[in-house]
Chain A
């Protein structure tokens, strides 16, 4: 068993309730932080921990916090990004649903560290029942003196509010989220200015992911130095991975980033191997936006070294032979899955979710979706493959926000690693339509971890 810092108590009966959470050692970190630490020492502690943003970008959290502008007399805000919408990702939902007080405690400490008296949780609109769970936890925390005026006699005031989105992937991008929180369409803003200087209502704002803010609790409990000892290199602490697709045990797992990808897929402690005894074909290791990898490149890097479940190892080889840790949305495809068909659903997703602000993304995602539909309907042409390649190439890097890149990368990687499957889809159009899978020759037999 690896180290567990976030989900250690998740199976304790009634942990969703304040009394149980408190009894199990909850709110110790909040007490320690508010009574014995200054806001600056908390920021230092988070810096020392090496914690990196768990939403997908992996930016150092302490550094992000230190950028927050503090002009005299201007209120500052902390906003928790609970808009979790990246296909393959359902870890924040799990955390909020089963151990909501961990997030609330992390928010109290972080709000104190950043000087946010009004903190907002922006949650995706579809997680409607989780809004009730969070609001219940907030009420309990308030009734027990952890929120409201003059918390623990420190003179610090704090309120937490939950705001529901209404169905827009783009609102997971921090500036689109702020626009949405201001009651507007989720159109990302041009940066700079960054939210740390001009964020919510033009006030200095920090936006952090749910898991990131929850991780502040163990950091305060065990110190940043101890937290940094867990994991490897710049991948410190633990990471939640939501695993899905053709595996025996889909679900949310907390890993300490020292295990290999092979162990994660095949060990009974984690995914439990490929379903129905089939072979592994490919995997998208960090949410739909990151490059898909064929089995051989997933388990070993291009240099032939074992690939591990951490930021550095997953991105080893760049986008040519590597991928990314991303949001931790781990999608596994077995030998029967068709890469063209799967990528087509993602192309459709990004077309649907493009906010329409930048032409390369608005038009490009639409064209890519149409071309994929053509391939899927058996009317694809060989030139379509290069056309897709050119379109994704012209989206990447040419948009205000990273959604353009996120739409381009899955298409680029699918063509890069599975071009012959695209070709087969075109030359064997009828066959491709009548069966559910494409070429299976990438599913090389691999050693199974016992």
Chain B
């Protein structure tokens, strides 16, 4: 399958490029990579990165070096739902280790792995700025805070239902 933005997304790309002075379209790289990741299965393949390079008139290496620097870009395939659990000090105090252990056991995967059905990936991340509402994790665009085992159960259930509805 050839990697190609829809016309709508392409308009969005042009709108982003217009935010910067002429000739500075490289500034659009981070936002366009976000857009590409959302559009193409949640990760950035070499093909996707090359495509972004061609749109922004950059060399592929300029895209690779950025994609591999920032932790939010996935350079390997991930599940439909990525659980990114914070493990830094303030979350650790509030029991993030127990939450991570519970997710591992519940989904039968280790940190960095994806469930066989391709639904869930578990990642640990560094401080996400929700220290007062710990423990927490990021799921897509949103934060799930004050996590408990029961909340994890509900979130997993919600994700499964979501898939069932959309299929």
Contact = CB atoms under 8 A, between A and B. Distances in A.
Interface of A: 75, 84-90, 93, 118, 120, 124-129, 159, 161, 163-169, 180-186, 201, 242-246, 250-252, 284, 288, 329, 331, 333, 337, 341-342, 345-346, 348-349, 352-353, 355
Contact of B71 (A93, A118, A168, A331): A168
A346 B129 contact: no
Contacts of B58: 183
A228 to B, nearest CB: 30
A447 B86 CA distance: 34
Contacts of A333: 93
Nearest to A329: B131
B141 A331 contact: no
B28 interface: yes
B134 interface: yes
B30 interface: yes
B132 A126 contact: no
A244 B66 contact: no
14 contacts: A85-B127, A87-B90, A118-B21, A125-B70, A126-B72, A167-B71, A183-B26, A184-B29, A186-B70, A288-B88, A329-B131, A337-B93, A342-B93, A353-B126
The 3 closest A-B pairs by CB, nearest first: A166-B70, A183-B29, A167-B71
B131 A88 contact: yes
A128 B141 contact: yes
Given A250-B132, A345-B87, A164 B126 contact: no
B80 interface: no
A94 B110 CA distance: 33
A87 B27 contact: no
Contacts of A169: 126-127
A341 B56 CA distance: 45
A345 B125 CA distance: 11
Contacts of A126: 72, 128-129, 138
The secondary structure that dominates the A interface is mixed
Interface of B: 19, 21, 24, 26-31, 33-34, 56, 58, 62, 65-66, 69-73, 87-90, 92-93, 125-134, 138, 141-142
Contacts of A183: 26-30, 56, 58, 62, 66
A127 B27 contact: no
A284 B131 CA distance: 13
Nearest to A288: B89
Contact of A331 (B87, B131, B133): B131
A168 B56 CA distance: 22
Nearest to B138: A126
Contact of A250 (B30, B131, B142): B131
Contacts of A288: 88-89, 127
B57 to A, nearest CB: 12
Contacts of A180: 30
A169 B86 CA distance: 14
A333 to B, nearest CB: 7
A126 B30 CA distance: 13
A93 B93 contact: no
Nearest to A242: B132
Q: Which of A127, A183, A243 has the most CB of B within 10 A?
A: A183
Given A185-B66, A185-B69, A342-B93, A124 B129 contact: yes
A396 to B, nearest CB: 20
